[in-house]
Chains A and B, each alone.
Chain A
Amino acid sequence: MSTVSSPVRGTVSRATATPAPAPPRRGPGRGLRVTPWLFLVAPLGLLVLFTYVPVANMVWYSFTSWDGMAPVKEPVGLDNYVRIFTDPDMFTVFLVSLYYLAGAFLQLALALYFATILSFNTRFRNLFKGIIFFPYLINGVAIGLVFLFFLRPGGTLDAVLGLVGVTAPPQWLGNPDLVNVSLAGTSVWRYMGLNFVLFLGAIQSIPNELYEAADLDGATSWQKFRYIIAPGIKQVIGLTTILAISGSLAVFEIPWIMTGGANGSTTFVIQTVQQAFEFKKFGLASAMAVVLLLIVLLVTWIQRRIIPDEKVDLT
């Protein structure tokens, strides 16, 4: 990755710079020492102000019972963290994530299937690719409204089911047993296209000779998938799996827009936003955000350990 390659590059450029005709007038980097920092002042300032300061403050708030306004932030030790893992109202939201996690794996499987079959000779490939991908680009609020319309009683889904003879469809969003399935399904509809395009790109970057050789050997489609495509896109699969896992913990827009967290569809992030901005419990909300951050970091760390950062060589 970048950090590995750049030092080497640096030495090369220095080596070529030394024999240059004009001797350096202003120090080793040929330029004032502060020059790079002048370019970096604004970017680093914003980075610190909007990423590192919030993270540091968040950790601090998480050990207090701050309400977001009071001048004094009363330290409470680990109380907030204890509450997250012992109060049933708090940790049931983790169970809601499981629906989205299951949805994420379904989404990956579907994306892989469609990417594979579209990578073989298919008519109208670009048209199909565009149609399957387009939902990913749509505004989240618009998607929420479209699916409220789709799932409401007497809505599109009920009408379509009526065509095939289902007369008494369930309440897709009103039934607490179904609401999370419906919302996770909406989420699959929204994000599958991105996974699909990533997989398709990776499959198409596999050299064509491999398929030709497999054709000569009489390989079936399944064998081509198993021995050429799957190893060739291992890396992308790993990356998207991690994104799917951390994404399913950080679900916010779809349930917030469609149900507002009603009927037991509250997710971890909705809970955090409500604790902070409705109930003014910034301490507790910060602790929840810290827990989420730690889980995401852990998942990312596991990914880096499992999938080394190198290209797979197929040939």
Chain B
Amino acid sequence: MTVTQRPDAQHPGTSPEAPARPAPGPVEGVVLRVRHVLRGLRPLLGPVATTVKYASILIACAVAIIPLVTVFMASFKTKEEFATTDPLTPPENWLNLDNFVAAFTEGGMLRGFLNTTVILVVALVGTILIGTMTAYAVDRFDFRGRRLVMGAFLLATLVPAVTTQVATFQVVNGLGLFNTRWAAIVLFMGTDIISIYIFLQFMRGISRSLDEAAMLDGANRLTIYARIIFPLLRPAVATVVIVKGIAIYNEYYIPFLYMPSRDLGVVSTSLFRFMGPFGAQWEIISAGAVLVIVPTLVAFLLLQRQIYSGLTSGATK
């Protein structure tokens, strides 16, 4: 592409024969005139554009932050203070932790965090084993029905879990898992196809000569999977732990449907129950919400890079 100096020339990148075009018609003439004027204004437009750009970014950040900051401030206020002050006013005492204590003890958030941790750990271990085994079997073996298996997993990605719960409920109930932690664990393990794809994609990049060398040394398939493939999949395991971990921590629908018992409350369902007993006690509800958001914030600050890349690979498969 050559640089065109003529003021009436088309914008760059279209066609090199632009100068050879016939004389512009009336409408085009106006367009070109406007373009000409704009080009003349460019030294002025630059600062204006920059201002607009930063202003819009700042507005977006304010919109993202203000709802969170006001809840954060409310969580430190006393009952009387909350009733008498504006949501935008900071609390008098930033060290007033009474609301957090109430959220932990009366609100059952402690139980919620415990249950979430148990479910998170077991479901993650299961997901990783299942995902790596599936990816290993599908990528490293040629067997009859291989395409069928791939197709079965592929087709399942199209079925949104939210639609099938009416019938999944009957299966879970039939297995006797209703109102146990296993309901959530098994569903998190069994319906996660994205993780399988992440493992499969990663496994394609691991050279097969490693498998073959080990086979010549007399290693069997299980040894190859456990000693060679699995350790090499570690980066993919990290991605799945992060993406899936966040998803399980945030999941509300499955625990709500399958674990209604109070003792089985996870973080989401325990927080949801705040709305009943604490009715209008917004300072305690705020403390509960802050308790749930802070671990996410810490994880995000520590693992930013992995979270961005993990979510990108998970969302676009």
| Interface residue count on the A side (C-beta < 8 Å) | 110
Shortest Cβ gap from B172 to chain A (Å): 8
Q: Which of B24-32, B63-71, B231-239 contacts A (4 or more CB under 8 A)?
A: B63-71
Query: A308 at the A/B interface (Cβ < 8 Å)?
Result: no
Return chain B residues, CB-CB under 8 Å to A118. 57
Q: Which of A275-294 contact B (CB under 8 A)?
A: 276-277, 282, 285-286, 289-290, 292-293
Q: Which of A28-36, A95-103, A164-172, A176-184 contacts B (4 or more CB under 8 A)?
A: A28-36
Q: Are A140 and B57 in contact (CB under 8 A)?
A: no
Nearest to A45 among chain B residues (CB) is: B190
Query: B110 at the A/B interface (Cβ < 8 Å)?
Result: no
**Complexed CA–CA distance, A203 and B200 (Å):** 26
Return chain B residues, CB-CB under 8 Å to A137. 246, 250, 296, 299-300, 307
Q: Are B61 and A138 in contact (CB under 8 A)?
A: no
Q: Are B166 and A122 in contact (CB under 8 A)?
A: no
Query: A91 at the A/B interface (Cβ < 8 Å)?
Result: no
Q: Are B49 and A223 in contact (CB under 8 A)?
A: no
Query: A241 at the A/B interface (Cβ < 8 Å)?
Result: no
Decide yes or no: A117 and B56 within 8 Å by CB, A40-B137, A43-B133 being known contacts: yes
Nearest to A239 among chain B residues (CB) is: B316
Q: Which of B14-64 contact A (CB under 8 A)?
A: 49, 53, 56-57, 60-61, 63-64
Q: Are B250 and A49 in contact (CB under 8 A)?
A: no
Q: Which of A1-20 contact B (CB under 8 A)?
A: 2-3, 5-6, 9-10, 13-14, 16-17, 20
Return chain A residues, CB-CB under 8 Å to B133. 39-40, 42-43
Q: Which of B258-290 contact A (CB under 8 A)?
A: 267-269, 271-272, 274-275, 282, 285-286, 288-289
Query: A128 at the A/B interface (Cβ < 8 Å)?
Result: yes
Q: Are A36 and B296 in contact (CB under 8 A)?
A: no
Query: A63 at the A/B interface (Cβ < 8 Å)?
Result: no
Return chain A residues, CB-CB under 8 Å to B129. 42
**Which of A122, A132, A296 is close to B60, meaning CB atoms less than 8 Å apart?**
A132
Q: Are B288 and A197 in contact (CB under 8 A)?
A: no
Shortest Cβ gap from A27 to chain B (Å): 10
Query: A297 at the A/B interface (Cβ < 8 Å)?
Result: yes
**Complexed CA–CA distance, A155 and B4 (Å):** 57
**Complexed CA–CA distance, A213 and B282 (Å):** 56
Return chain A residues, CB-CB under 8 Å to B221. 31, 35, 39
Q: Are A132 and B61 in contact (CB under 8 A)?
A: yes
**Seed contacts A31-B221, A40-B134; 7 additional CB < 8 Å A-B pairs:** A36-B138, A55-B159, A132-B60, A139-B271, A149-B74, A197-B311, A293-B163
Which residues in B have some Cβ–Cβ distance to A below 8 Å?
Answer: 1, 3-4, 11-13, 49, 53, 56-57, 60-61, 63-68, 70-71, 74, 86-88, 129-131, 133-134, 136-139, 141-143, 146-147, 149-154, 156, 158-160, 162-171, 186-187, 189-191, 193, 196-197, 200-201, 204, 208, 212, 215-216, 220-221, 225, 246, 249-250, 252-253, 257, 267-269, 271-272, 274-275, 282, 285-286, 288-289, 292-293, 296-297, 299-300, 304, 307-308, 311-312, 315-316
